[in-house]
Structure 1
Amino acid sequence: MAGYDLKKEEEVKEYIENLGIEYRFGCFQEKKPEVCHLLGDYLESIKKDYKKAGNVYKTNCLDYKFGKSCLKFGNYTLVGRGKEKGDPVEALPYFEMGCELGDSTSCLHAGMLLTATGPNVNIKRDVPKGYNYLKKSCDQKDDMACHYLSGMYLTGVPKNPADYNPHNLEKNKNIDYLIKSDKKQAFNFALKSCEYGNMFACANVSMMYKKGDGVEKNPEEAKRYFEIAQKLQKAHETTKEIKFQQGLDK
């Protein structure tokens, strides 16, 4: 930013244009994956050109093996950004590639797509494969992946989701499961997720300590984790407020 007065509109425009030139040179001439990803971000956030941004992310993923770009293009493909419509089936390989390249959020998304159920899900369900992606993401300290795994162990994962009835727990005991309910495992994953900053997981840990689900009853620990969940929720709300107010005059 040296040499630019960002309080002057013309200099801001010049700075932004030069930034784009710099990113293009670093990507296309120097072939630096990190800079290509920045170029994608620039085209996305500054130019609002989602089609070009998507092309940059896609190339950076496939040609330069940059995991974060695989995640971005996977997300674009999933929701249909820069395209006519979203396509989960087309998005999945990009999440899988991003995961193999070390991006934990890509692992999370691949795992969730492979374990998802519902009328609008057109990906062939593969719970063991999806579980492995989620576990890999959790091992890389992704709080959502750990939280998702905790939920899978909390209720169990039925072989045929249509057989599961949340209102008839006795009947559910007689159906076939790919992953059986295991409250201890559910607690361990919830605890990990809480440690990584997931307020919902902390609330679950509190409740499990209160009920003695998967862990010995402990009112003191239940209270402590409830307070942690409250602090995380307050911090989350404060962060949202700050982001909303960024750039406003005081």
Structure 2
Amino acid sequence: MKKMIFISILAACAFAGNFEDGLKAYGSSNFKEALAKFEAGCAENDAKSCVKTGAIYQLGKTATPDLDKALEYYNKACQSGEKEGCSAAGGIYLKSEPQKARELFNKACELNDGYSCAMMGSMLIDDHKFKEAYTVLEKGCSLGDKLSCEFAGDLKRSKQL
């Protein structure tokens, strides 16, 4: 039992090490080192490292932007329950695969990402599902997302409920 606890603590320290080291490198604009640290953390199933890796690929911090690689890492983070991974992947899919984007924004909203609730609410408004949109927007607003609050207020004033 003691051995299992020790191994768990070591694993947690390893995750934190790669992620923290990646943040330091990123903050110093050493994007290649940051990418290496975040990729290592992601390989060890640290979802936050996967999100940061996806962002580096999406923004092209070490080379040309690579949306396919970004999606690979964002989706891995999302599958691990990391709301930022779901939201970021949803943003990339928005134009090319709107249904996939909807699923990802919905999942991120369920994981309490206010921005994703705003995006989901906006899609529901486009579908004329005003009551459902209002519920989602209210959730986003309660999570502190200003856009959700604005959309919810606009919807309420529109008398579509």
| TM-score in terms of structure 2 length | 0.86
Tell me which of the two structures has the higher relative contact order, counting C-alpha pairs closer than 8 angstroms and 6 or more residues apart.
Answer: 2
Distance in 2 (alpha carbons) for counterparts of 1:203 and 1:144:
12
Q: Which amino acid aligns with 1:130?
A: A
- More helix by percentage: 2
Stretches (4+) displaced over 6 A: none
Structure 2 matches for 1:1-250, cutoff 5 A? 32-45=14-27, 47-62=28-43, 64-81=44-61, 83-115=62-94, 117=95, 125-155=96-126, 180-213=127-160, 215=161
Q: Secondary structure at the match of 2:64?
A: coil
**How far apart in 2 are the matches of 1:204 and 1:127?**
20
**How many Å separate the matches in 1 of 2:148 and 2:42?**
32
CA RMSD of aligned residues (A): 1.9
Equivalent AA in structure 2 for residue 85 of structure 1 = T
Q: What is the alpha-carbon distance in structure 2 between the residues aligned to residue 187 and residue 48 of structure 1?
A: 41
The AA in structure 1 aligned to 2:75 is: E
Q: TM-score, normalised by structure 1?
A: 0.57
Question: Equivalent residue for 1:24?
Answer: none
* Contact 2:115/2:147 (<8 A) preserved: no
Give the drift of 1:126.
2.8
- Residue type at the aligned position of 2:32: K
Measure the CA separation in 1 of the matches of 2:156 and 2:20: 45
Letter paired with 1:184: K
* Equivalent pair of 2:60/2:66 in contact (CA under 8 Å): yes
Q: What amino acid sits opposite 1:133 in the alignment?
A: L
1:190 & 1:94 partners in 2: Cα distance?
28
CA displacement, residues 102-152 of structure 1 (integer Å, 9 cap, x when unaligned): 21000001112122x2xxxxxxx3333322221111011100100000111
1:200 Cα shift? 1.9
In structure 2, relative to structure 1, the CA distance for the partners of 1:181 and 1:89 (3 Å cut) is farther
CA spacing shift, 1:187–1:99, aligned 2, 3 Å: same
Give CA-to-partner distance per residue, 1:137-168, whole Å, 9 cap, x none.
1011100100000111112xxxxxxxxxxxxx
Shift of 1:31: 6.4
Larger radius of gyration: 1
- Say how many residue pairs are matched: 152
Identity across the alignment (%): 21
Unmatched runs of 5 consecutive residues or more in structure 2: 1-9
